[in-house]
Structure 1
Amino acid sequence: MNLLKEAITDQNIILKLIPQRAPIVMVDSLLYFDETKVISGLTISEDNMFLQDDYLTEPGLIEHMAQTVALYTGYHFYIKKLLAPEGYIGAIKGVHIKKLPKVHMKLETEVEILQEVMGITLVKGITRLDGEIIMSAQMKTVLKK
């Protein structure tokens, strides 16, 4: 069951949910949230630091997925009126990138929480472009202590 009443697209709120700041903010909407899943969105802007020849690079797709995990954790903290914690990508595996999106395209990334223990979150995720899966990966993130 979606615990989010409506999508969050207000950038002031998004910045309360993640520790990242410009120029490295790689999520611009929280579309869905429950205890085991989160869906984020990103419209690729012309000033995105991960662009090369008007295409979002592989590291940009990976960072977008990592920030989707941060959005999941940050929203947990936000509803408890706490600041979003900083974290790191601890490991990433099984990365499959089918195609790179262009500037102005809208990504939607769905992350399923597989396990969460002592500040370590293990997830599997997919990124869609116009409904087509363009990336999948497993990722482990670790909260900064």
Structure 2
Amino acid sequence: MEIKENDNISIHQFLPHRAPMLMADNILELTKEKVVTSFEILENNIFVHNNEFVEAGLIENMAQTCSSILGQSFFENPEADTKVIGFITNIKKIEVFALPKVGDKIISKASLISQFENICNIFCETFNNDELLIRAEINLFIQEVKN
């Protein structure tokens, strides 16, 4: 599945997360190897402290962005009532440069480094306009939850 910039879709189609833990609003671009998401920082977000979106929120945003690459295979059939669960298994390297403020719209860009079945290694960077906020290499594991 490839999504072009003009075809923004709700990330709900690719992640099980819901408010208050949903930290990405839309998928701007999605292929089997990369994803770009957007997220507007709202005042009532659970990761906002003193008008800033704290490090834990940035990491959760990155993890949800990265999960979209691997998660899309579970949601190829929009009619299915698929439920998945995912875990960060490792953060190899993380660098935080700045924190966004309430009202900022951040863009996260993730690229698949490697994948073996439901385990993947992904590099992700998050920006506020042209300012790099955070970058990391994350390992994720996602599996379908059987009823």
TM-score by length of 2: 0.87
- 1:110 equivalent in alignment to 2:109: yes
1:16–1:84 contact (8 Å) kept in structure 2:
no
2:51–2:102 contact (8 Å) kept in structure 1:
yes
2:55–2:99 contact (8 Å) kept in structure 1:
yes
1:7-86 aligned within 5 A: 7-9=7-9, 13-81=10-78, 82=80, 83=82, 85-86=84-85
TM-score by length of 1: 0.88
- 1:141 equivalent in alignment to 2:140: yes
Q: Tell me the distance in 2 between the aligned counterparts of 1:34 and 1:76.
A: 11
Q: Deviations over 1:65-120 (max 9, x none)?
A: 00001222333333333525210000002111110000110110000001111210
Q: Tell me the distance in 1 between the aligned counterparts of 2:92 and 2:7.
A: 29
Which residue matches 1:87? 86
For 1:40, the aligned partner's letter is T
Q: Tell me the distance in 2 between the aligned counterparts of 1:88 and 1:116.
A: 15
Per-residue deviation at 1:143? 1.4
Mark the runs of 5 or more structure 1 residues left unpaired by the alignment.
none
Query: Please, what is the CA RMSD of the aligned residues?
Result: 1.8
Q: Tell me the distance in 2 between the aligned counterparts of 1:121 and 1:74.
A: 11
Q: Deviations over 1:15-68 (max 9, x none)?
A: 232111111100001001112110011001111101110101101100000000
The alignment covers a number of residue pairs equal to: 141
Q: Tell me the distance in 2 between the aligned counterparts of 1:29 and 1:126.
A: 16
